[in-house]
A and B are shown apart, each in its own frame.
Chain A
């Protein structure tokens, strides 16, 4: 558990600063706006959780920042890494930041490793792309990295092929791969979704530990509020490509001011719930992003909707210091 008030240091210049980020995809059916006017920043040592349902655009945020968008995708706005604008940089210049400045841990460790390459060369590849190291040095670095992610027998692992490792081990390898160039920002895209619950907890523990050890700023993309509670300092709730609410983790869990966040929290399974109550779900489906609505994207599913929600887009407003929400209601009951 993060200690409140310890890590976020707002006086420091943010490592990562995203302003007015839009991501659009041109599809045969029309233009899809996957990310709509997103803003956030990340300082050293901080973990920001980006939470949303499938299709809320959270993965596209990471892909846009790292220049991984599909061919029909287009990102506009501004992404600054350590003060430098990196959005839509040509690949050659982006490559200096990829891996060495910002690294990404993928969702599915089963498909993220090349089945034909042994773990060792695969790990040291990014390092060799960035630094003039010898093969031996790269191997040593890979070995110590595997040690840092607590893989037993790192030397044997270096010589193993991916299919010889379990899912949890592969995810550890993926994390080691992301960290081998000592990046300053780590983006973890649903790092634990493809793993089962016990392994999941250990991977998250590992990420928190590595974050402290390497002084990382971390962007944790997930659809699981339970994951957020244990690892993040701040949380950004996304819906339909927009920010619904952004706040410190405790504010989200105890003082949420947005109906969608409350809906998500209500849908969490609880051990202390009395009797055999059914889990509360948010009725309805996420909106189609093909036709942008003038109002709030959550309007159709919201229990608190009233007239302005349909026509007017709720602005992102401060509730208190470091707590913002996009909702027409001044205060929720």
Chain B
């Protein structure tokens, strides 16, 4: 046992400590989750395809061609997914629609993330009367019929993409605020927060540096679950005819169009629906994986 006799007299092993954060840990665990990893790869593929695909096709998303109406998919003339009732290439339209659907998902989630986290963390941290007041406001907003609100907004201000982002995001932050507030309540009494308080650190600095980073785990999970939810809402609105405006399109709008000619031109439904469903599935799997990976009790 040469090693032991040698290490004993050395008082302090000279060793660089390399920070291995909770995120590094979580990523390592996520990597072992097969469903989440496959989903992540599929998602990346979808995003790359959506970004680069349209420029690879000779057609534009709003090019009508009355000689090629409702063609079934064929590789020969580069209509990989066929064409729609106006002779527009469905491959390009699906990908362009995907851009919009993903954009709505991300932007609206970002809106809800920013509002929800700052609102919830503030309410939870200050507690008491502030918390009561802020959460009652959330309750009141909860009681508003969301769809009615969105329809009203869209009718009043016209169909406007930006407005849709804001409307969806502004509704979704309610859930986020509740979740974040609950977590903050328990974080606030943790000793490291008290240590910062006695150090004389001002409240909003504490929220920013101590509360929010500790919330990221749960927030990250919730975000991956909100993105598909928001995309569904957008699809739903588009399906109702309240979403995007022609010739722009989204997956929801495409599914809506496709559903009308389900019997005669099934490809118009199948392809956008496939993309939408696959993306939603993947986001959900990644969210599940993240939740498991970030749960410290689940360490194997």
Binding site for B on A (CB under 8 A): 66, 68, 71, 91, 94-100, 103-104, 106-108, 111-118, 121, 125-126, 129-130, 152-153, 156-157, 159-161, 164, 174, 177-178, 181
Contacts and interface: CB of A to CB of B under 8 A. Distances in A.
Given A114-B209, A116-B22, A129-B201, 20 more contacts: A91-B203, A95-B201, A97-B200, A100-B200, A103-B198, A111-B191, A111-B192, A112-B191, A113-B192, A114-B196, A115-B192, A115-B214, A116-B21, A117-B210, A126-B201, A129-B205, A153-B12, A153-B14, A153-B15, A177-B199
B17 interface: yes
Identify which of B127, B196, B202 gathers the most chain A CB atoms within 10 Å of its CB.
Answer: B196
Contacts of B19: 118, 159-161, 164
B198 A66 contact: yes
A164 B22 contact: no
Contact of A98 (B17, B191, B192, B200): B200
A103 B197 CA distance: 10
Nearest to A94: B200
Q: Which 7 residue pairs are nearest across A and B when measured between Cβ atoms? A: A126-B199, A99-B200, A98-B200, A116-B213, A99-B199, A112-B191, A95-B200
Given A108-B191, A114-B213, A129 B202 contact: yes
Given A71-B128, A106-B191, A130 B210 contact: no
Contacts of B205: 125, 129
Contacts, number: 103
A126 B195 CA distance: 9
A108 B191 CA distance: 8
Interface in B66-101: none
Interface string B27-56: 000000000000000000000000000000
B80 to A, nearest CB: 46
Identify which of B18, B193, B197 gathers the most chain A CB atoms within 10 Å of its CB.
Answer: B197
Interface residues of B, number: 32
Contact of A104 (B12, B17, B22, B198): B198
B16 interface: yes
Interface string B207-231: 0011001101000000000000000
B196 A125 contact: yes
A161 B22 CA distance: 9
A108 B194 CA distance: 12
Contacts of B196: 114, 125-126
